[in-house]
Every structure is written in structure tokens, then in C-alpha cells.
Amino acid sequence: MNNRLKLNFFLMVLAVLFSAGSVFMFLFFPASMLTLIPIIVSPLVWITSSFLLWREYYRLQHPQPELATQDSSALVTEYTQLMDDADNEMRNQFSMIEDELDRVRNIQTDAIVGLMQSFQGMEAQSRQQLEMVVNIIGLIQAASGDSENAQNFRAEATRMVEMFIESIQSMSDNTMLLVSAINSMNQKITDIDKLLGEIDSISSQTNLLALNASIEAARAGVAGRGFAVVADEVRNLSQRSNHFSQQIRKNYSEMRHTMDETRHLVGQMASNDLTLTMTSKNRMETLMDEMDQTNNDISHQLQHISAISTDISSSVELGLQSLQFEDMTSQLIVHMTKRVETIRSFTQSASMLRHDFDIIKRDELQKQLEEHIHHLRSAMESAHSLSQATIKNPVHQESMDDGEIEFF
Amino acid sequence: MFTILIVDDEAPVRKMLRSMLNADNVELLEATNGNEALKVINESDIDLLITDIVMPEKHGIDLIMEIKKSSAKLPVIAISGGGGITGRFDYLEIAKVIGAENILKKPFTADTLRGLVNEYIAKKSVK
């Protein structure tokens, strides 16, 4: 119970006591002068108490701001100072937020431009790489004989090789004629050897015969003298025949030696040819296998490169799509900026309102209040509109994986 | 026992020759190329050499030349498909030039081969 009500209660009690006292005095001391005191004072107390009650009632119905007292003014001052400091700090923080948002926007924009250029460059290089691969595949196919030029080249090369082979074949035919001749000569030489043997045999027998004839001629004495001469001549003929046979044999031996050398040369030539042919054939087969393997490896590698080029293009497209986050975040930053402005207007209105509460002018207070309420309502409507707008905006995703992005 | 060395790089050919020449008085040895044949000749007493011409490592021409250089008494029968592998030279004719006693061009009959071999067996018996 406040002090005023206590005073009123006391006055009422006093009024009741004075009323009771006046009644008592009037009843028991009607002629006394003291009786007038309670009769006069009692109504005054009643009037005063009633007035105070009415005033209290009026005050309750029509509250008035209490005037700052000497005791609360320091607190208000301190409170006001603190609120000013808080207000300044909030403004400072909001300003910094705006600066940081601008920086984020600028950094993001620069980074996005750089990334776009990088991705576009990569895509262009990937396309060039793919074109080069296609060209290389075309060249390999042309070299392997699928094109008209390759077929003409192969036909011409085949003709030249056939001419070369014909030439070698001709040489070989002549060589085989030589081999055949050597074989015939070999046979003839063997025959000659046999004949020489016969000649040696005949010569030897003739010599023996001549010797026998000489012996018989000597036995016959003078009659056998003519026979002895004939025998001597026969011996001479035999010896000469033997001498010629020896010479023929010597020539035959040299001829045989030459024949052996010729046979050795022919054999060596055939051996070299056969060795070279077999080695070339094996080497050619190996080279063809290696070439086929190399061609297969190249084809596989080129197909692999082609697949990688396709993958690169896909990755670049994904990157370009991902760069759309710039639009999303820019919109979010714009919304954040607007929110900051809305909050600032709130705080400004609240600050102004707080200051005006300090004004000790009641008649102006209502007007000030109405203005601030108007400002606050405007700020609230702006904030509400902003919320409605951002709830329906397309940038509602929380990550890049949330689906397709629609631009507006 | 008459020992014959068969030299050919193809197993079916060696098998065919073995079936043609199989007899109680004949011992058959085999080699797949010229180097193997020379090794067998050095280690065993061979009476007759029947060799192919076109073989890997050491072909028949080189084998015959080496044999004739070191041991002219070992008779040689050269066999071939004829014309070698390129058709440039008739390697059988060349084998004859370098000293092979007989040449047989494929295809030849078993009787032809056995006839030749029997001649050499008879010559050895006479000696």
C-alpha cells in the first residue's frame, strides 16, 4: 500500500473518530462549546479524505509520468549512456558486417571470374586434344591401309618388291645352272679319275709286258735282237704314257682342288642365303607381331585418351554448373544486407524512442510516441515483407546438392 | 647294328622316317637341328645321316659342309621339300654339290628310302 493510500486511510479513520466524538459530545454534552470542535472538524476531515480518495482515483484512471526525481536521474543518465554506447557499438558492428559482406561479394566475384576463365580454357584445350586424337586415329587408319593413298603405296611397293625378287630369281636360276654344271663336272672328274686309273693299270701292264719281252729277246739271242728293240720302244711308250698320265693326274688334282673350292663357295653362298632368309623370315614375323601389338596398344591408348577427353569435358561442365553458386550466394548476401538495414532501422527507432522517454514534456510525449510507433510499424512491415520475399525465393538450397537452380 | 641319325626340326617328320626305317638290324637316333646332330655324331658311331635342309639354329647345308670337312666317310642323304623356303635356290642340288651322297625330294616313298638305306647297309656288311 503506498503512502497516499495510507494517508487516506488514516484520514478516514480520523473522520470516523471525529464523527463518533461529535455524536458523543452532542448526546452527552449538548451545551458545551467543546461539542462544536468535533462537529466542525469531522466534516473537514471527511472532505479532505474524500478529496484525496477522489484524486487518487483520478490519478489511477489517468496515469501521469512520474517526474524524475533527484534519486533516479543518475540511474537514468547512466542507463542512457549505456544505451548510447550499445547503440554506437551496434551501429559499428552493422557497419562492419556490411563492409565484410561487400568484401565477400567482391572476392567471390573475382574468384568466380577467374574460375570461369580457367574452366573455359580447360574446355577449349580438351576439345583441341580430342581433335588431335581424332586426327591421329585417322592417320593410323590411313597408314594401315584403309585409304586410297595407302593402297596405291602398297601396290607400288609390291610391284617394286616383285621386280627385285624377279631379278634375284634370275640370278638364282643362273646360279643353279652353275651348280648343275658343277655337278656334271664333278661326275666327269670322277669318271676321269677312273679312266686315269685304267690308264695307269694299262701302262703298268704294258711296262711289265715290255720287260718280259726284253727278257725273252735276250734269251733268243741275236734272233731276238729286233724283238728286243721293239720291246724297248714299247717300254718307252709305256713310260711316256705313264708320264703323261702323271701330268694329267696332276692337272686333274689341281682341277679337283679348284672344284672343291668352287663347291665350298657354292655351299657357303647357299648357306649364307639360307641363314639370311630364315633369319629375315623370323625377324619379319617378329616385327609384324610387334607392329600389330604396337598398333593395338596405340589404338587402346588413343581410345583411352578419347575417353579421358570426354571425361574432362564432363568435369568442366560440372564445374561451370557449380559456379552458379555465385548467384545463389550473391542473393543470400543481398538478403543479409537488407536484414542488417532493417535491424538498424529497428535500433534507431528504439534509440530515438528511448531518448524521447527522457523528455519531461508530457504534452509532447504523446506526439513523439505516435511518430515513433509509426516508424516502428513501418520498419516491422518492411521486415515482414522481406521475410515473405525470401521464403519464396529460389535460393532456398542449403548446398549445391539440393537440385536444379532456377534463375529469376 | 646299323646306326642311322635322323635330323629334322619337325617331330611328325621324324616320326614318319622312324616308322619307314624301323627294323631289327637298325638303330635310329634323332636330332632336331644341326648343332644337336653334330653332338650326337661326336658321341656316337653313326653309319648314315639323313638330314633335312631347312632347320633352325644350324641348317642342313652348314651341317653337311661341316661333316664333309671333318669326316668325309659318313654318308649323307639330304631330304627337303624342294627349292628351300624362298624358291631362290634348289638346296637339294646344292647339298649334292657340297658332298651329300644322295638327295630325296619330298614326297618320297618308303620303298625309295629303304632301298637307299639297304644299299649302305650292304656296303657296310661287305667291309
Q: Do A264 and B89 touch (CB under 8 A)?
A: no
| Nearest CB to B88 within list A268, A273, A278 | A273
Closest CA to A302 of A160, A132, A50: A132
Of B54, B62, B97, the CB nearest to A263: B97
**What span, in angstroms and rounded, lies between the C-alpha atoms of A266 and A271?**
8
If we measure between CA atoms, which residue out of A317, A322, A319, A336 comes closest to residue A105? A336
Interface test with B, best of A162, A166, A274, A280 (most B CBs within 10 A): A274
B9 to chain A, any CB pair closer than 8 A? The answer is no
Largest CA distance in chain A: 253
**Among all residues of chain B, which has the CA nearest to that of A180?**
B93
- Statement: residue B1 has pLDDT above 90: no
User: Which region, left, alpha or beta, applies to residue A182 given φ > 0 means left and ψ of -120 to 50 means alpha?
Assistant: alpha
Q: How far is CA A221 from the centre of its chain?
A: 131
Tell if the CB–CB gap between B61 and A182 is shorter than 8 Å. no
Strand ranges of the sheet holding B26-31, from the earlier edge strand across to the other edge: B26-31, B2-7, B48-52, B76-80, B102-105
* Helical axes A362-391 vs A325-357, angle rounded to 10°: 170
| pLDDT number for residue A403 | 47
Chain B closest-CA separation from residue A316 CA (Å): 59
Per-residue pLDDT of chain A (408 residues; tens, 9 = 90+): 467 777 878 888 887 888 888 888 888 877 777 777 777 777 887 888 888 888 877 777 776 555 544 445 666 677 677 777 767 777 777 787 778 778 777 877 777 777 878 778 887 887 887 787 778 777 776 666 555 666 676 777 777 777 766 766 676 677 777 777 777 877 787 788 888 888 888 888 888 888 888 888 888 888 888 888 888 888 888 888 888 888 888 888 888 888 888 888 888 888 887 777 777 777 777 877 877 787 777 777 777 777 777 777 777 777 777 667 767 777 777 777 777 787 777 677 666 766 666 554 555 666 766 776 677 677 667 766 766 765 555 444 444 444 443 433
Give me the pLDDT at residue A254, please: 85
Q: Distance between CA atoms of A176 and B78, rounded to whole angstroms?
A: 17
Collect all residues with Cβ–Cβ distance below 8 Å to A350 and sequence separation of at least 6. Answer: A376
Q: Which of chain B's residues have a Cβ under 8 Å away from the Cβ of A176?
A: 89-90, 93
Compute how many other C-beta atoms are within 10 angstroms of the C-beta atom of residue A209: 14
Separation CA A241–CA A383 (nearest Å): 148
DSSP annotation of A398:
S
In this predicted structure, the answer to whether residue B46 has a pLDDT above a threshold of 90 is: yes
Separation of CA A305 from chain center:
14
Between B34 and B127, the more confident residue is: B34
Q: Write the CA distances from B58 to A148, B34, B51, integer angstroms.
A: 44, 5, 12
* Whole-angstrom distance, CA of residue A346 vs CA of residue A369: 15
Q: Is B73 touching A (CB cutoff 8 A)?
A: no
State residue A356's pLDDT score: 62
A-B Cβ pairs (cutoff 8 Å, strict): 66
Q: How far is CA A302 from the centre of its chain?
A: 18
Among residues A332, A312, A329, which one has the least CA distance to residue A320? A312
The predicted complex's ipTM stands at 0.75
Nearest-by-Cβ selection for B88 from A172, A186, A263: A172
The winner for highest mean pLDDT among A348-357, B11-20, B82-91 is B11-20
